[in-house]
DNA sequence: GTGAAAGCGCTAACAA
DNA sequence: TTGTTAGCGCTTTCAC
């Protein structure tokens, strides 16, 4: 990489002249500016990012910590973050906590050494079950702002972007009830995280309001989802509706239904929290609750960057919690229009 | 963040003393070392990463450019890269080219300003169709090593990690033939990228060797995969085998087969390039060609880091192409054991 | 055993 | 209009 020094030497001017010329300073004469720029162009000069970061005490880099990169929703949020960040000239350093508290702590500490200007994260499962939040508080008090999305800790004072998990599950359940279903089961592989619990509560509320009895199937990490759903259908042959809290269960519920001579959506309706591309995996396609993952990511990035750029009175600014509303996208796994 | 300067001031010693003490230099007296370390501990001192990078002219950061973060295989490779990189004390900056040549170029240029020590990437679709490779060559000649994985450019001299696409598709096709299938169709949504072409060739070779006629269904980006597969089944009712080049088509082929009263695997066998978790989306589960994505990522990271650390005679070192062999993982969508 | 000083690449206040 | 200098945080050589 060419440096200012080398350009200066070759042009026989001082380093600061070169620097100013390249930054279009009015101080520098037309003629010199032109010469400098030409040489810089020729050598494909690019200001050294590291030096700039050191000088300006900011890196234009965001640390993103996500629990699981193989989760479609989370990847999509990451996508949204990356795009929005890029738009504002920020890069992202990605760490994967792998649902582990320890790794999450490490990542936070490792990047809190000047590598990034702030964090965007979704909390690891272990962190949620152990209810640990001190590492977040420490980071924030070191002056590094955090924006949490999806799985958030309400006791940490920071910006947040969340989904209306409770309401959307409530109304999805209601819509199945409106179809005339009265044996609706709730299937969840994400029982242990906050959003999973919220969704279950939304389902419960809707069911109880109708005087029906909740029926919940929790699938654990190492369970065989197909087996579990098969057993469910075997045990309750009256099931006529499924609300799936995760992206796979809904698809599997549809595909498995045929083994029990249940026609979808004639005999049973299915709605899942999933994405368009996964909803394609079942025949008929799954009706989904879309979470607008990209938008969540973009919003999180926007909030963080706003905060980073309002250097002045960061302290006084109140923290925001933005709710990104879900959308029910109807496919052929449900009856209602 | 506390700096050496602040520690030095408080301890009433010089900055260099503090630095040396923290680095366990033998030059510094036992007593002083202890005092320094205690204060550093107290203030939770961490050496500023940016300053270190500037001083040592390396960032311990790897730039990763992937075409599509929503592709399960690519995300999984990213996971492998991240884990291996972390193990060696490296962080990763992720850029998503979104299959665009322009974005790929930009990312490369943007990070080639001292932000990273080298790159790991898989080539964007547009880059492959336009057969552009100069941006890679430029980056390498600037002294930033590149490791390519999966979709590689053979004309660029750099380390590569690839899958045995041709051979594995060839032998998967052969295995269906061995089951007695003689109307095997090849379905691909990744026609335009190098690996897609290799897989198709592997299929063709196996089919032609048996004197059968290849039958290929190409699905374009905006096509409805379910519709396409439905039409296929309608048009060729003799189909008794499917080789799917991408992760979704195999799953859909299975789930759609039932609409045509085809029993899987009695009447039709299906094999797809996919992952364990997606293979679960079909009933019965899809037999897959596993690509060991995490291993590919880990290997790529290993190759890059090796090269970065052999500072001495990088030039003389020959470039490696590592082939990570796939594994056929049998489920209930095929007959053979 | 400890400290002063240079230098990594850059910007910017100040001097000329 | 151009140059000198200091300084961002750190390591390291060399002097004391």
CA distance B330 to B337: 7
CA distance A143 to A117: 9
| pLDDT tens digit sequence for A181-228 | 999 999 999 999 999 999 999 999 999 999 999 999 999 999 999 999
pLDDT at position A336: 77
pLDDT at position A110: 95
pLDDT at position A317: 73
Task: Tell which wins on pLDDT, B313 or B31.
Answer: B31
Q: Does A285 touch chain B (CB under 8 A)?
A: yes
Instruction: Please check the confidence at residue B312 and state whether its pLDDT lies above 60.
Output: no
pLDDT at position B314: 47
pLDDT at position A314: 47
Alpha helices in B210-292 (DSSP H): 225-235, 247-257, 276-279
Of all nucleotides, the one whose C1′ comes closest to residue A8's CA is: D3
| pLDDT tens digit sequence for B298-311 | 999 999 999 999 86
The DSSP secondary structure of A91-102, one letter per residue, reads: EEEEEE-TT-HH
Average pLDDT over residues B20-30: 93
Span CA (A8) to C1' (D7), Å: 20
Give the chain B residue whose CA is nearest to the CA of A92: B93
* Residue A160 C-alpha from the chain's centroid: 11
CA distance B252 to B244: 10
Task: Tell which wins on pLDDT, B112 or B310.
Answer: B112
Put simply, whether the predicted model's pTM sits higher than 0.75 gets the answer: yes
Task: Name all protein residues with C-beta less than 7 A from any atom of nucleic acid chain C.
Answer: A 1, 3-5, 15-16, 19-20, 22-23, 27, 45, 47-48, 51-52, 54-56; B 12-17, 20, 26-29, 31-33, 51, 54-55, 57
Q: How far is B181 from chain A (nearest CA, A)?
A: 25
pLDDT at position B232: 98
CA atoms within 13 A on the CB side of B1: 19
| pLDDT tens digit sequence for A142-166 | 999 999 999 999 999 999 999 999 9
**Is residue B291 classed as helix, strand or coil in its secondary structure?**
coil
Closest residue (Cα, C1') to C3: B14
Number of Cβ atoms within 10 Å of the Cβ of B183 = 15
pLDDT at position B316: 56
Backbone angles phi, psi at B191, to 5 degrees: -55, -35
Long-range contacts of the stretch A209-214 (C-beta < 8 A, 24+): A210/A177, A210/A182, A212/A177, A212/A182, A212/A183, A212/A184, A214/A186
Q: 3-state SS string over B315-336?
A: CCCCCCEEEECCEEECCCCCCC
Q: Which residues of chain A carry a pLDDT beneath 70? A: 311-316, 337
Instruction: Please check the confidence at residue B81 and state whether its pLDDT lies above 80.
Output: yes
Question: Using CA of residue A24, residue A26, residue A28, residue A34, what is the dihedral sign?
Answer: positive
pLDDT band at B315 (very low <50, low <70, confident <90, very high): low
Mean pLDDT of chain B: 95
Spell out which residues of chain A touch residue B94, defining contact as CB-CB under 8 Å.
78, 82, 92-94
| pLDDT tens digit sequence for B132-164 | 999 999 999 999 999 999 999 999 999 999 999
pLDDT at position A132: 97
Q: How far is B69 from chain A (nearest CA, A)?
A: 6
User: Which residues of chain A from 216 to 245 reach within 8 Å of chain B, CB to CB?
Assistant: 225-226
Spell out which residues of chain B touch residue A281, defining contact as CB-CB under 8 Å.
248, 251-252, 255, 278, 281-282
């Amino acid at each position: 990489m060419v440096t200012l020094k080398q350009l200066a030497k070759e042009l026989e001017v001082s380093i600061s002249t070169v620097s100013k010329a390249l930054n279009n300073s009015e101080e520098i004469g037309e003629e010199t500016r032109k010469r400098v720029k030409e040489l810089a162009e020729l050598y494909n000069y690019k200001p050294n990012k590291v030096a700039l970061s050191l000088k300006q005490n900011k890196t234009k880099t965001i640390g993103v910590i996500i629990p699981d990169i193989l989760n479609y929703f989370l990847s999509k949020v990451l996508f949204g973050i990356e795009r929005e960040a890029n738009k504002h000239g920020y890069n992202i350093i990605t760490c994967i906590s792998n649902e582990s508290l320890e790794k999450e702590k490490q990542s936070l500490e490792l990047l809190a050494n000047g590598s990034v200007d702030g964090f965007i994260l979704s909390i690891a499962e272990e962190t949620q079950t152990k209810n640990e939040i001190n590492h977040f508080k420490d980071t924030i008090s070191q002056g590094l702002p955090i924006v949490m999305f999806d799985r958030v800790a309400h006791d940490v004072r920071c910006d947040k972007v969340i989904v209306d998990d409770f309401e959307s599950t409530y109304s999805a359940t209601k819509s199945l009830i409106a179809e005339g279903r009265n044996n609706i089961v709730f299937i969840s592989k994400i029982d242990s995280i906050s959003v999973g619990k919220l969704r279950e509560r939304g389902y419960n509320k809707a069911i109880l309001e109708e005087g029906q009895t909740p029926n919940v199937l929790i699938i654990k990490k190492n369970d065989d989802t197909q087996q579990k759903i098969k057993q469910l259908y075997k045990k309750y042959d009256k099931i006529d509706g499924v609300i799936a809290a995760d992206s796979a269960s809904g698809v599997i519920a549809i595909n498995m239904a045929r083994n029990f001579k249940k026609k979808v959506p004639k005999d049973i309706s299915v709605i899942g929290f999933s994405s368009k591309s996964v909803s394609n995996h079942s025949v008929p396609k799954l009706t989904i609750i879309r979470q607008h993952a990209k938008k969540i990511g973009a919003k999180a990035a926007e909030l963080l960057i706003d905060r980073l750029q309002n250097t002045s009175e960061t302290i006084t600014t109140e923290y925001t919690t933005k709710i990104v509303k879900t959308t029910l996208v109807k496919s052929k796994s449900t009856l209602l229009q």
